[in-house]
Amino acid sequence: MSKLDGKIALVTGGSSGLGLAMARRFTEEGAFVYITGRRQSELDKAVASIGDNVAGVQGDVQRSEDIDRLVERIRAEKGRIDVLVANSGMVAPQLLADATDENFDRTFGVNVRGVYFTVDRALSLLGRGSSVILVSSIAANKGVPGYGTYSASKAAVRSFSRTWTAELLERGIRVNTLSPGPFDTPIMDGQADTPEGGDAVRAKWAAAVPMKRLGRPEELAAAALFLASDESSYVAGIDLIVDGGASAL
């Protein structure tokens, strides 16, 4: 029997990268998965690449009205959410000396506000035995020049999982954090202005990992599956780090 047979899952930011890999793995394990993304064209490609048991809902997690529309669609079509992965995130490196309001507001709007209100709005569809997975980052516990807003936003996500574990355990809802290290996803390209720059970013991060390579999205999806499934029924409030040893060595 598959590990998520009959489950209803929501993966925000599921149109590419880590979110897409998690959504694909969940469907392979028997779940029906809703994925979100800001760009309809990319969302359509993601849905087509997964195939069956998936639906795409366009929206921006910074907009409460988009989250409300998403939740109401799931309520009307399925009536519940068994697995919620708050994965939407962005990174735009910027040194403190170059700080802008736009960078700060967008980073915290997506990475913090988006997570906060996605889980808040979805609470009415989460029942006993459901699993909430918040995607943070090992950057939450590191000091990397240029990543001040990103690292702080991911530290806030880790804090949410602790607080919400305390708030929701009596309702039978488990909340855990999944913290990836450097992974080979399109977010790497977003940190450079050219394809060559993207390759340089990848090489820099791969060199910083003890395993000397970037993670593969399917490797994070495997960890997410553990937290989503009943195999982690006695796991709550943890930070599951998947980083090739980068934060340990």
CA triplet 48, 220, 173: central angle to 5 degrees? 95
3-state secondary structure of 30: coil
102 Cβ contact partners less than 8 Å away, ≥ 6 residues apart: none
Amino acid at 109: G
For the chain, what is the total number of helices (H) and then of strands (E)?
8, 7
**Contact indicator for 60, 38 with CB cutoff of 8 Å:** yes
Marked catalytic residue, from 34, 116, 147, 150: 150
Terminal Cα-to-Cα distance of the chain (whole angstroms)? 38
Burial (CB count <10 Å: 0-12, 13-18, 19+), residue 243: buried
Decide if 150 is catalytic.
Answer: yes
Active site residues per annotation: 150
